Amino acid sequence: MPPKLERPAPPYQQIATEIRNRISNGDLQAGDLVPSVRSLMRDYGVALATAQRALSSLRAEGYIKPERGVGSVVTTHDERGQAANDRADKSQRTGKIYPTGYYAKITDTGLDVASEQVADALGIKAGAPVIRRVRTTYAPNDKAVSASTSYFNGKLAEKAPLLLSKERIQEGTFLYVANILKRKLDGWQDQLEPARATAEQADVLGLTEGALILVGRNWMYDNTGDVLEYGESITLGRVTYRGHVGS
């Protein structure tokens, strides 16, 4: 099998990823100061806009928040945005994927054919069968905060039948698939970009057209390097939960 080429992420994403990893591994704890814009510019040799965008991404994901007179600090687990690594960690620690009060409704499932983007993400051929699982995630006030579609290799249809049902999978779809395949969750990657909602996206999230949202893509990897799950999502621009991989 030929090696896969990986395109380098933009500098702001690389900086955000490094800080995010420091938070996830405990090097930075809740309440700790994160590097300032000036520090990032000096340490990474990047422009002001790049440093600001890195911190903006972390704020949008819920990892950090501004503290008056101090700077940006790490949020608590309850405050933190649920990017793929936080969902994975919570699922493995508690057997559950959603914070208290949040819930999801599976609105559609089925077999589909892989688009080029989905095929590339899953490492299969375009046009190959994939399992599609569509959900909307709600906050405790019953307001929709995200809508997402997860994709899985179509070969899992017989081995993992729950993926094709509208039944919730409590531990999360990625751990369900990993357990079915007798593999372990070994990595994850999130890409979140701010965007203005189209009319269709706004309708799903109960917004006005042009409102700020986050458009996401995410990958969950197993210990063999295969992609367990690939997801695409839209999320409110300012919420503390990211529901684009899940139940």
Confidence of residue 80 (pLDDT cuts 50, 70, 90): low
What's at 159, amino acid-wise? K
Q: What is the mean pLDDT of the chain?
A: 83
pLDDT at 82 over 90: no
What DSSP designation does 209 have?
T
Predicted local distance difference test score (pLDDT) of residue 182: 94
pLDDT at 84 over 60: no
Predicted local distance difference test score (pLDDT) of residue 4: 47
Predicted local distance difference test score (pLDDT) of residue 17: 86
State whether CATH 3.40.1410.10 applies to domain 84-236: yes
Q: What is the pTM of this model?
A: 0.64
State whether CATH 3.30.70.100 applies to domain 11-74: no
pLDDT at 196 over 80: yes
Is 180 strand, coil or helix? helix
Q: Tokens standing for 240?
A: 């503390």
Q: pLDDT tens across 45-65, in order? A: 999 988 988 888 787 667 888
pLDDT at 97 over 90: no
Which helix (H) or strand (E) covers residue 52, if one does?
helix 48-61
Predicted local distance difference test score (pLDDT) of residue 246: 58
Predicted local distance difference test score (pLDDT) of residue 188: 73
The CATH 3.40.1410.10 portion of the chain extends over 84-236
Q: pLDDT tens across 117-136, in order? A: 999 889 899 999 999 999 99
pLDDT at 40 over 80: yes
Which range is most confident: 1-15, 70-84, 128-142? 128-142
Predicted local distance difference test score (pLDDT) of residue 3: 46
Contact 135, 172 (CB under 8 A): no
Contact 151, 122 (CB under 8 A): yes
Q: pLDDT tens across 134-164, in order? A: 999 898 889 998 999 999 999 999 999 999 9
Predicted local distance difference test score (pLDDT) of residue 220: 86
The CATH 1.10.10.10 portion of the chain extends over 11-74
**Rounded-to-integer distance, Cα 9 and Cα 178, Å:** 27
Predicted local distance difference test score (pLDDT) of residue 5: 43
Q: Tokens standing for 217?
A: 């893509």
Name the phi and psi angles at 140, rounded to 5. Answer: -60, -25
